[in-house]
Structure 1
């Protein structure tokens, strides 16, 4: 499954997989515990495929950051998001050397690593851009 179906819901821990649409919102399954929840229009929802990280020159899509982490870790889990702030920043600097330290906070790095590890645990290893690939084929 691609990142187009993986969601982050504000106020809810972890990540969610889009299951189906309802009249008032949609159903999402937690990647943490497998429970299905009903998400209404009141919730602030972000697709992982639409999130980007600030660098000094541009915004790098989250999928590219995940690809760089996967390359560095050989497809295995990264360091724990519970590591110290300095360890997290050093690790992220090794993955994305030109990230904007003024706009990317330690809490953002923590969230990216937590999401990456959660995706790897749930068998999500393909972080390529399906839309870009289909446009190239045409």
Structure 2
């Protein structure tokens, strides 16, 4: 699974897996155990996780959500120390620890709550998305293939 295959729908809690597009929208399936299907029309606001980023005060102006989650996972694994119901000051301290240069004026507590909630969902239902992908230093050399079978005479 990829970040481009997971979406959030405005007005609906949780995350959804993009199943397939339709003529008038897209078919989504909840990421939880219920696996409820939802047909989202073009009028609903759908955000794919690969398109979401967190505002920063750096020259780039933002950091992709994928990078944020990988950074959180490498440091905290499955124990963030905060939940979406934590005190706003705790949530701000958490995001400041993860992204010291986050833009405090443009990143709201509600955004941090979503970040924490979505992290929990991804950790439970798609943990492979949180781990760093291993990059190979050298491409593997092709080994000559052995003959699969011998000809009979």
Report the Cα offset of residue 21 of structure 1. 1.7
Report the Cα offset of residue 127 of structure 1. 4.3
Taking structure 2 as the reference length, what is the TM-score of the superposition?
0.78
CA contact (8 A) 1:15 1:31 kept: yes
Cα distance in 2 for partners of 1:127, 1:49 equals 13
Taking the TM superposition and a 5 Å limit, the aligned residue runs for 1:79-98 are 79-98=82-101
Taking the TM superposition and a 5 Å limit, the aligned residue runs for 1:42-61 are 42-57=43-58, 58-61=61-64
CA contact (8 A) 1:14 1:115 kept: yes
Cα distance in 2 for partners of 1:123, 1:61 equals 18
Deviation above 2 Å: which 4+ runs of structure 1?
123-130
Higher helix share: 1
Runs of 5+ consecutive residues of structure 1 not aligned to the other structure: none
Structure 2 CA distance for partners of 1:96 and 1:36, relative to 1, 3 Å: same
Partner of 1:100: 103
Structure 2 CA distance for partners of 1:128 and 1:41, relative to 1, 3 Å: farther
Cα distance in 2 for partners of 1:77, 1:122 equals 16
Structure 1 counterpart SS, 2:111 = helix
Cα distance in 2 for partners of 1:86, 1:64 equals 23
Taking structure 1 as the reference length, what is the TM-score of the superposition?
0.87
CA contact (8 A) 1:77 1:116 kept: no
- Taking CA–CA contacts closer than 8 Å with sequence separation of 6 or more, which of the two structures ends up with the larger relative contact order? 1
Structure 2 counterpart SS, 1:18 = strand
Q: Please, what is the CA RMSD of the aligned residues?
A: 2.0
CA offset digits 1:86-125 (Å, max 9, x no partner): 1111111111111010111111111111111111110333
Structure 2 CA distance for partners of 1:9 and 1:28, relative to 1, 3 Å: same
Runs of 5+ consecutive residues of structure 2 not aligned to the other structure: 140-153
